[in-house]
Amino acid sequence: MNLSGVDASEIHRGQTLVLPKTLAPVDAIDVEVRLLQSAPPLKHRANIHFHAFTSETMASISLYGYEAVQPGTVRLMRIKLAKPIVLVPGDRFVLRQPSPAGTVGGGRVLDAHPEPRQRKPNTLAGLEQLKTASPAQQIVLRVGRRSMNGITLEALSAETGLTVDAIRHYASSTLQSGDLLSISGDLLLSCEGLLAAAGAITSSLKTGCPVKSSELRSQTALSPEVFEFALGSLERELKVQLSGEMLSIYCAEGESSNAETGRLAAVANRYRAAGLAAPLVSELALKLDLGETEMRWLLTLLQRSKTIVRMGNDNLFMHSEALNQLAAKITQLRGSLIDVAGFKQLTGRFRKYAIPLLEYLDRQRITRNQGDHRLVL
Of 25, 223, 30, the closest CA to residue 115 belongs to 30
Of 84, 95, 80, 92, the closest CA to residue 16 belongs to 84
3-state helix, strand, coil in the chain (%, to 5): 40, 25, 35
Give the CA distances from residue 348 to residues 237, 262, 351, 364, in Å, rounded to whole numbers and listed in that order: 52, 31, 10, 21
Asked if residues 149 and 230 have their Cβ atoms less than 8 Å apart, the reply is no
Note the residue count of the chain. Answer: 377
Same domain, 42 and 150: no
- For residue 100, cis peptide bond before it (omega within 30 degrees of 0): yes
Residues 34 and 108: their CA atoms lie apart, in Å, by: 9
Residue 282 resides in a domain: yes
Residues 190 and 192: their CA atoms lie apart, in Å, by: 5
Question: In this structure, what are the phi and psi dihedrals at residue 302, rounded to the nearest 5 degrees?
Answer: -70, -35
Torsion 9-13-17-18 (CA) sign: negative
Residue 1 resides in a domain: no
Same domain, 305 and 347: yes
pLDDT of residue 254: 47
Same domain, 37 and 94: yes
pLDDT of residue 350: 65
Q: How many CB atoms lie within 10 A of CB 167?
A: 22
Per-residue pLDDT of the chain (377 residues; tens, 9 = 90+): 788 888 988 888 888 888 888 899 999 999 999 999 999 999 999 999 999 999 999 999 999 887 899 999 999 999 999 999 999 999 999 999 988 889 999 999 999 999 888 888 889 999 999 999 999 999 999 999 999 999 999 999 999 999 999 999 999 999 988 889 999 889 999 999 999 999 999 888 865 567 888 888 998 999 999 999 999 888 888 788 777 777 877 765 445 556 667 788 889 889 988 888 888 888 898 888 888 777 887 888 888 888 899 987 778 899 998 899 888 889 888 888 988 888 888 877 666 788 888 888 988 989 999 888 888 88
pLDDT of residue 72: 95
Residue 8 resides in a domain: no
Q: How many CB atoms lie within 10 A of CB 203?
A: 10
Asked if residues 176 and 219 have their Cβ atoms less than 8 Å apart, the reply is no
Residues 310 and 294: their CA atoms lie apart, in Å, by: 17
pLDDT of residue 208: 56
Residues 111 and 107: their CA atoms lie apart, in Å, by: 12
Domain hosting 73: range is 18-111
Residues 162, 165, 171, 175: what is their CA dihedral angle, to the nearest 10 degrees? 150
pLDDT of residue 213: 85
Measure CA of the first residue to CA of the last residue in the chain; give whole Å. Answer: 94
Q: Which residues have CB under 8 Å from 220's CB, separation 6+?
A: 197, 200, 201, 204, 227
Asked if residues 123 and 64 have their Cβ atoms less than 8 Å apart, the reply is yes
Helices and strands: H and E segment counts in the chain: 13, 17
pLDDT of residue 242: 79
What CATH number did the domain enclosing 286 receive? 1.10.10.10
Same domain, 136 and 99: no
Indicate the residue among 180, 214, 249 that finishes a domain: 249
Same domain, 40 and 139: no
Residue 3 resides in a domain: no
Q: What secondary structure letter does DSSP report for 290?
A: -
Residues β-bridged to residue 308: 319
Torsion 275-280-283-289 (CA) sign: positive
Q: What 3-state class would DSSP assign to 21?
A: coil
Residues 129 and 149: their CA atoms lie apart, in Å, by: 21
Indicate the residue among 146, 174, 192 that finishes a domain: 192
What CATH number did the domain enclosing 99 receive? 2.40.30.10
- Number of separate domains in the chain: 4
Residue 85 resides in a domain: yes
Question: In the β-sheet with 187-190, what is the strand arrangement from edge to edge?
Answer: 151-152, 187-190, 180-183
